Structure 1
Amino acid sequence: MLATSTADPHLRRIRGQAMPSGHRAVHEQLRLRVHGVNLKIAAVRRGGADEPIVFMHGFGTSKEDYTDITQRHDFAGRSFLTYDAPGCGASECADLGAIDVPFLVDTARAVLDRAGIGRYHVVGHSLGGLTALLLAHREPGRVLSFVNIKGTLAPEDCAGIRHVLSHQEPGDAFLRFVESLRLAPGYSGGLYAANLPHKVRRGAVDSIFRSVIELADHGDLLNKFIALPIPKMYLYGEECASLSYLPLLDAHGVELAEIPHSGHLPMYSNPVATWKRIAVFYAGDLSQRIPAARRW
């Protein structure tokens, strides 16, 4: 199913010195085949003795959302992996129309298997949070903890893309989505909108959007998240504090983390507070924070 992986030797150097795996971040290109589709996945990793943190970015963002982990003293020496999803960032996909959320989940599993990662902690934002949720639900024994950064859990999380797809006027849905973000008030919306055309391929947009809506409406996502028998944190910006399901998450033992001066993109609007809050979650003994899993 999977082909060989390669690492660009030029990317393995900082200031002319080789970066030993396990000590410095290594940039790689992983050649994979998922559902018969050829992929070239751009990834960054750092090895170590502990179980890694796997970071999954959101729609229209990239692995670089998380590479500041190498600058954070509270994560010094911590092993990690982050990568650009198919159709995003520097990754390449031979069939953009094949990309939907189940495809992203299978790609994540292929990346983890190629990297030799058995058990891991996961941090996922937005679409990456949805991908991580479905992967953890499928293989709960591999996931040690889950930081969900405003991941899709309910139909209310899809209002923006639902409106764009239901638009009756002809035109490019992706451009309408970008323009709506650019004009909407809110933290980091303009920055996000400016980056979108450069971070995601248009050919993947429609199938991803429709897949997210289908799962939000019929995928029982909130219940799946609550039922995961691992330490969990739901992190969101203050602009998202009115989400209807936050009290339910709190009642079922999910740690809530509200980041001030931010909205859907706390890592853009308030990265210092976001990283500090994630670091606090990983400090100490996570085994003491396993919530009771109950159905609602």
Structure 2
Amino acid sequence: MTQNTHDVATSNAFETSTVALRIDGVPVNVSAIHRQGTRPPVVMLHGFGSTKEDYADIALHRGFDARPFLAYDAPGCGRTNCADLSRLSIPFLVETAVAMLEHVGFERFHLVGHSMGGLTSLMLAHAMPERVLSFANIEGNIAPEDCFLSRQIVDYPDDEPERFFDAFIERAHRAPAYASALYAASLRHKVRAEAVGGIFRSMVDLSDHGELMDKFLALPCPTMFMYGSQNASLSYLADIERKGVALAEIPACGHFPMYSNPVLMWQTLERFQTSAESLSAAA
């Protein structure tokens, strides 16, 4: 087989860097991948138990050529080091996102967030709605029922972070969902056990009391909710579609489209962002 080396070299160009930040007084060294370009940029926030590499393939899809992007490991995840893991929460992750946006200089941008990253993205978009061109929410929390992972901190309490995390991994490995065993296999390598409790408690609190649905529906930019076909029973789907949110169901997929059906995920994101730009130009 002959490989088109020009296409690969062109599309796979991105930089990896470590950015030293101080978030609410806590030193954080953020590991990021990013590139510049001539089109409106996209910022992508990964979910709990994942890393920036969930999004690295954007550089290989021709529909995103010349589009700048930023993806990075959240504090406590991947190669990002945080000096005080006990301080982690969704507001802490939002502050990290704001600092990273300032670092790369993206003024207006498309936003993509999966799961924990979807909730972080929602809070970020709510805080700076004038800067977000579009928001693709990939099964990020917008209702209490979305806490099927994070609510385990309440349903299976344990004072020992390592023991809780071990049991969490085992439950994920046994779950009858697409890509769940694959997800579980790398959790120990992608998340520090001491980071889990603060993040999960914050996610549960915001999902139960943070009026997330109201925040999501009030965003002035085009919005999309992407979900796996295995989660098509989410109670709010028909309602948010009636209220203007574009739905994107990914077949043969559970909570992780980037693992189960990545080609369709990227095609759907590209069409959505292109359409959002067309709508903005016509307005």
Q: TM-score, normalised by structure 2?
A: 0.91
Cα drift, residue 73 of structure 1 = 1.0
Residue 212 of structure 2 corresponds to 221
SS of residue matched to 1:229: coil
- C-alpha separation between the residues in 2 aligned to 1:74 and 1:112? 23
The amino acid that maps onto 1:68 is: D
Residue 131 of structure 2 corresponds to 142
Residue 5 of structure 1 corresponds to none
Match of 1:234 among 225, 229, 237: 225
SS of residue matched to 1:87: coil
Matches within 5 A, 1:81-120: 81-120=70-109
- Provide closer, same or farther for how the CA distance between residues 273 and 173 of structure 1 changes in structure 2, counting only shifts above 3 A: same
- Identity across aligned pairs (percent)? 49
Residue 200 of structure 1 corresponds to 191
**Alignment: residue pair count:** 272
- C-alpha separation between the residues in 2 aligned to 1:98 and 1:113? 22
- Provide closer, same or farther for how the CA distance between residues 173 and 73 of structure 1 changes in structure 2, counting only shifts above 3 A: same
- C-alpha separation between the residues in 2 aligned to 1:168 and 1:40? 30
Q: Does 1:38 align with 2:27?
A: yes
SS of residue matched to 2:146: helix
SS of residue matched to 2:136: strand
Structure 1: unaligned runs, 5 residues or longer: 1-14, 291-296
- Provide closer, same or farther for how the CA distance between residues 251 and 23 of structure 1 changes in structure 2, counting only shifts above 3 A: same
Alignment deviations for residues 175-203 of structure 1 (CA, whole Å, 9 cap, x no partner): 12111110110100000001111111111
The amino acid that maps onto 1:130 is: L
- Provide closer, same or farther for how the CA distance between residues 38 and 261 of structure 1 changes in structure 2, counting only shifts above 3 A: same
Q: Does 1:71 align with 2:45?
A: no
Contact 1:125 1:148 in 2 (8 A): yes
Contact 1:57 1:126 in 2 (8 A): yes
The amino acid that maps onto 2:98 is: R
Cα drift, residue 286 of structure 1 = 3.3
Residue 183 of structure 1 corresponds to 174
SS of residue matched to 1:146: strand
The amino acid that maps onto 2:229 is: E
The amino acid that maps onto 1:253 is: G
Cα drift, residue 24 of structure 1 = 2.6
Q: Does 1:50 align with 2:31?
A: no
- C-alpha separation between the residues in 2 aligned to 1:153 and 1:160? 14
SS of residue matched to 1:38: strand
Match of 2:240 among 249, 260, 265: 249
* Cα RMSD for the two superposed structures: 2.1
Residue 273 of structure 2 corresponds to 282
